[in-house]
């Protein structure tokens, strides 16, 4: 009997891993700092070199990318939940 890839691939074997989390927000310096504080609180080992920003063409939005060392799936899921529920976050990828 063949087994599905999902059964064969234990999701815990994917961690630890470096994961890119991209957060889209309105372009406000204080909001960028607030979001970065949330990410740094969840992942204290995050350094400034692991954070990059890109402005939208009209400079209305800001995309912030965090390269995070994730040890456990639950840690990244909790961060996605927190960021997704933030009232000023447009999208999290």
Going across the sheet that includes 51-55, the strands are 51-55, 61-70, 17-26, 89-92
Please list, in sequence order, all residues whose beta carbon lies within 8 angstroms of the beta carbon of residue 64, skipping any fewer than 6 positions away. Answer: 22, 23, 25, 32, 35, 36, 51, 52, 53
- For 19-51, the pLDDT digits (tens) are 999 999 999 879 999 999 999 999 999 999 999
- For 45-67, the pLDDT digits (tens) are 999 999 999 999 999 999 999 99
* pTM score: 0.83
């Amino acid at each position: 009997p063949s087994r599905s890839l999902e059964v064969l691939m234990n999701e815990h074997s994917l961690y630890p891993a470096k994961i890119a989390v991209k957060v889209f927000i309105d372009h406000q310096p204080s909001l960028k700092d607030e979001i970065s504080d949330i990410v740094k609180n969840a992942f204290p080992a995050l350094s400034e070199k692991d954070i990059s920003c890109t402005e939208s063409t009209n400079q209305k939005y800001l995309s912030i990318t965090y390269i995070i060392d994730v040890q456990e799936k639950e840690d990244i899921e909790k961060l996605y939940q927190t960021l997704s529920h933030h009232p000023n976050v447009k999208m999290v990828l």
